[in-house]
Amino acid sequence: MGPHSTEPTESRPAERHAAVRRTARDHFDQWAHSYDRSRLNELVFFPALRACQEELVRWQQWRGRGPFRLLDVGCGTGTLIHTLAAWPEAELLVGLDYSPMMAQRLAEKMAGSPHAHKLHTVVADSERLPFADGSFDVVTCCNSFHHYPHQAAVIQGFQRVLRPGGVLMLVDGFRDNVIGWLVFDVAVAGYERRVHHAAWSAIRDLIAAAGFATLRQRKLNVLAPLLVNVALR
Ligand SMILES: C[S@@+](CC[C@H](N)C(=O)[O-])C[C@H]1O[C@@H](n2cnc3c(N)ncnc32)[C@H](O)[C@@H]1O
């Protein structure tokens, strides 16, 4: 495109992606102070976090337990890593979020935790994970993936920062039935704007393309259906 193009800036993919990230960051910066009191926690977010913990227990049993280093992408105020901090096997728990205000809430909660030495917070974009290859045994991502404008790149990043044999737990809205479509594609997308709940088959294809060895997917029937994806690197 030449310098005199009249094409709107946002029609370029990079600009569009930046706009999606900004929309999410601004939305969660504003929500951060009251996020932990939101009714949505009990209705949608906590069931996803509980599913993630169940999968973690299952994975630990399968591999014969042992210490683990975990990265929670789109961690918000850090409810998941705070809960996991009490697990003796949890060696390192890193929460990454693009919203500085959500990360600040997490840092405030960390300060009062008896497990503060295990907990770390990073402000960064899910698409540019600032960690060396193979840094983590577990990557979790709950209730956040639909905000990412370039989902394929994010999943490639998850694969890169996991060590061989590590596990990805990705939980988000299931939009492949009527209730899920109404909740996530109509209500949530209408309210949050610029979000995309990928079909279960699209997530399956992205995970396969990123080179994960195995994938298990299940639908969780809570008030709003959720899709639980568990992939081994
Ligand atoms: C609904 S909250 C979920 C928080 C937490 N995982 C939970 O389940 O309570 C979504 C989070 O994703 C974060 N987020 C959105 N876009 C992001 C991006 N591009 N990179 C990292 N985090 C992002 C938001 O800032 C927000 O904290």
Domains of the chain: 9-232 (3.40.50.150)
pLDDT value of position 189: 81
Residue of the CA atom closest to atom 6 of ligand 1: 75
What span, in angstroms and rounded, lies between the C-alpha atoms of 127 and 129? Answer: 6
With a cut of 80, say whether residue 156 has pLDDT above it.
yes
With a cut of 70, say whether residue 3 has pLDDT above it.
no
pLDDT value of position 9: 54
73's CB contacts (< 8 A; 6+ apart) are: 96, 126, 129, 139, 140, 141, 144, 154, 158
Instruction: Determine the distance from the C-alpha atom of residue 231 to the mean position of all C-alpha atoms in its chain, rounded to a whole number.
Output: 14
Which residues form ligand 1's pocket by a CB distance below 6 Å? 21, 24, 28, 45, 48-49, 74-76, 79, 97-99, 102, 125-126, 142-144, 147-148
Torsion, Cα 134 138 140 146, to 10 degrees, reads 40
pLDDT band at 2 (very low <50, low <70, confident <90, very high): very low
Distance 167 CA to ligand 1 centre (A): 20
49's CB contacts (< 8 A; 6+ apart) are: 79, 80, 83, 142, 171
Candidate from 144, 154, 183, 188 with most ligand 1 atoms within 8 A of CB, to mutate: 144
Mean pLDDT of 123-152: 97
Of 107, 103, 104, 149, the closest CA to residue 126 belongs to 149
Q: Which atom of ligand 1 is nearest to the CA of 149?
A: 19
Express each pLDDT in 99-137 by its tens digit: 999 999 999 988 888 999 999 999 999 999 999 999 999
Mean pLDDT of 1-27: 72
Q: Which atom of ligand 1 is nearest to the CA of 29?
A: 25
With a cut of 70, say whether residue 8 has pLDDT above it.
no
Residue of the CA atom closest to atom 13 of ligand 1: 74
Distance 74 CA to ligand 1 centre (A): 3
Look up the pTM and report it: 0.93
